[in-house]
Chains A and B, each alone.
Chain A
Amino acid sequence: MRYATILSCLGLAALLSAPPAWAQDPVHLVVKDHHFSPDHFTVPAGTRFLIMLDNQDDTTDEFESYDLKFEKIVVPGSTITVHAGPLHPGTYKFFDDYHPDQATGTVTVTQEP
């Protein structure tokens, strides 16, 4: 119970801290021939953003990233949206878990001036 109390306090503290800002527009990606286009994009640090992925292949893919903490199935011809961030400055990887050797991409997070 003591741990639960500590954890609840941690959660409350996080709740009271300022919510992350939203990046303005969703990032649009297309996966075609098992390659992302664009396979690299940039977002500002400390913001929450949306990635919209359009699957133009004839196979089902799983859009996944360990760094960005999402894992979502996208069937052929459909578009999915995942939420990501806020992130620290750096470079993070994402990939298609069903074709991890071919379909990979990176997102660079930059510090806002």
Chain B
Amino acid sequence: MLGSLLIVFREVMEAGLIIGIVLAATQGIAGRGRWVAGGIAAGVAGAAVVAVFAGSLSAALSGNGQDVFSATILCIAVVMLGWHNIWMTRHGREMAGDMKALGTQVATGQRSLAAMAVVVAVAVLREGVEVVLFLYGIAVSTHSGPVPMLVGGLLGIVAGGGISWLLYRGLIVIPLHRLFAVTGLLIALLAAGMASQAAALLAGDDIVPALGYEVWDTSWLLSDGSMVGRAAKALVGYSDRPMGIQLVAWGVTLAVMLIATRMVRRRPVTK
């Protein structure tokens, strides 16, 4: 039971941390609850579909199907996060300045919410595939008492959700005018981390050059296998033994996100 609790907890936590940041970053935009819930639902449905077709997916692209698929959805999430940050830069000030006098575009924020719903769906899809396959495996195998393991799985979902909720509560105590600066940076780091993970997947299959397989080794300090290491990987793309290409992808993504928002900030706000 403890084993299945840990496995499910880990995956739920990884997706949940991303959802916590998305919720904090969309604070004050009307209808965000519906979009985020829609993203979660789409992610869960997608995970079930992908789990069913896991076999054919592996067979596609000469055995690299899983990795190419994961890298692709990570890249989509990176683009959506960038889009949101630029949108927030243009409207965040208005929102923080006077909540009562919001323009219609700010109040609805449909486009940005749609982008963030995609991010949520991708995060849930990615971690959800593993949870679905794992729980399905327990449900069909009679070897090791399915009931305690399913209970463990459910407790894992609750515990992982709890951690994400704590992150969200911790973020929203920040005053609104500071909150968007903080979440903007968190989202830039999130995107950089996702780009780095996508690069690692592709380099692992020799699709892109690795540019060095172990630029440093900090596994003695914070191991990828530990819970804190997994959380750091989900939040900022931490790796204890990163490839060169991961550092390039991380640095370039972060730089592009920060420079793009700075350029948008200089321009006058369009109504």
B250 located at the interface, meaning its Cβ lies under 8 Å from any Cβ of chain A in the complex: yes
**C-alpha spacing A44/B269, complex, angstroms:** 60
Contact yes or no, B7 A97, CB < 8 A: yes
Within A84-108, which residues are at the interface with B (CB < 8 Å)? Answer: 85-86, 88, 97-98, 100-101
Contact yes or no, A69 B241, CB < 8 A: yes
Pick the contact of A59: B137, B219, B244 (CB < 8 A).
B137
Q: Point out the residues of chain B lying under 8 angstroms from A83, CB to CB.
A: 204-206
Contact yes or no, A1 B7, CB < 8 A: no
Contact yes or no, A100 B141, CB < 8 A: no
**C-alpha spacing A66/B53, complex, angstroms:** 26
Q: Point out the residues of chain A lying under 8 angstroms from B212, CB to CB.
A: 10-11, 13-15, 17
Q: Point out the residues of chain A lying under 8 angstroms from B3, CB to CB.
A: 100-101
* Closest Cβ neighbor of B229 among chain A residues: A66
Contact yes or no, B244 A3, CB < 8 A: no
Q: Point out the residues of chain A lying under 8 angstroms from B58, CB to CB.
A: 72-75, 78, 80
A81 located at the interface, meaning its Cβ lies under 8 Å from any Cβ of chain B in the complex: yes
Contact yes or no, A3 B255, CB < 8 A: yes
**C-alpha spacing A73/B50, complex, angstroms:** 11
Binds A, one of B18-26, B37-45, B99-107, B128-136: B128-136
With contact pairs A72-B66, A85-B213 given, residues A78 and B244 touching in the complex (Cβ less than 8 Å): no
B94 located at the interface, meaning its Cβ lies under 8 Å from any Cβ of chain A in the complex: no
Give the interface residue-count category, chain A.
35 or more
Q: Point out the residues of chain B lying under 8 angstroms from A85, CB to CB.
A: 213
B259 located at the interface, meaning its Cβ lies under 8 Å from any Cβ of chain A in the complex: yes
Within B217-232, which residues are at the interface with A (CB < 8 Å)? Answer: 219, 223-225
B54 located at the interface, meaning its Cβ lies under 8 Å from any Cβ of chain A in the complex: yes
Among B54, B140, B213: residue with most chain A CB under 10 A: B213
Q: Point out the residues of chain B lying under 8 angstroms from A101, CB to CB.
A: 3
Q: Point out the residues of chain B lying under 8 angstroms from A60, CB to CB.
A: 54, 133, 136-137
* Closest Cβ neighbor of B256 among chain A residues: A4
Contact yes or no, B133 A8, CB < 8 A: no
**C-alpha spacing A35/B245, complex, angstroms:** 34
In the A-B complex, the 6 residue pairs with the smallest Cβ-Cβ separation, listed nearest first, are A14-B212, A7-B251, A14-B244, A66-B225, A4-B255, A75-B55
Query: With A3-B254, A11-B245 given, can you name 12 additional A-B contacts, CB distance below 8 Å?
Result: A1-B259, A4-B254, A10-B244, A10-B247, A11-B248, A60-B54, A69-B200, A69-B241, A78-B58, A82-B204, A85-B213, A97-B130
Residues on A facing B (Cβ under 8 Å): 1, 3-4, 6-8, 10-15, 17, 20, 58-60, 62, 66-67, 69-70, 72-75, 78, 80-83, 85-86, 88, 97-98, 100-101
